[in-house]
Amino acid sequence: MLRTKIAVFVSGGGTNLQALIDAEKRGEIPSGELALVLSGNEEAYALTRAVENNIPSVVVKRKEFPSQLAYEEEVKRILRERDIDMIVLAGFMSILSENFTSAYPKRIVNVHPSLIPSFCGKGFYGLHVHEAALDYGVKVTGATVHYVNEIPDGGEIILQKAVEIQEGDTPEILQKRVMEQAEWILLPKAVEIVAKGLQKGK
């Protein structure tokens, strides 16, 4: 059976990309194949990870296009050219419009570092999420993998995992624990669930 071809969209270090690469090597994503890494930033360390693991990569910068529409059409063209079935947003900093997300219904997943619906939506990304959780005084946070639609962090939830907040946590310490205990575990599992479903439809 043909494996679901996956593109991972990145902007920075690519730690979630690495979690997927490691999971694929361990045989934990049997239904999917990491077929492309797309970055909005040519200096993203995630691109180095792609090269080191023989995954084709491409850089597409939003600012080089006159409009969001032109940018998204180019991204779509690249995905079509490479027969990509599914997209994983792994620390991807560009918001995608409905024009893009509606072209890939239930085919785009994102990992968010909180238990949605807490600390999510516009402006909640990276350390901002963990700062908000600590400021609010919640005792439990975590990560969520969800489908992507036109509403930031608004798509259907696929998997969630809770992580306890500890005495003396800083946003940086909490970010690392959420990655290690939730994001890196959930993301490969969710990717396999979606890839398997799409594989059946192939």
Active site residues: 112
- Choose among 18, 16, 20, 19: nearest CA to 6: 20
Query: 173 exposed, middle or buried (CB, 10 Å; 0-12, 13-18, 19+)?
Result: middle
User: For residue 137, what are the contacts with CB-CB under 8 A and spacing of at least 6?
Assistant: none
What are the C-alpha distances in Å from 72 to residues 43, 108, 154?
21, 14, 20
- Read out DSSP for 110-137? EEESS-TTSS-STT--THHHHHHHHHHT
- Choose among 34, 87, 93: nearest CA to 61: 93
Measured CA to CA, the distance from residue 195 to residue 72 in angstroms comes to: 23
Question: Is the Cβ–Cβ distance between 143 and 183 less than 8 Å?
Answer: yes
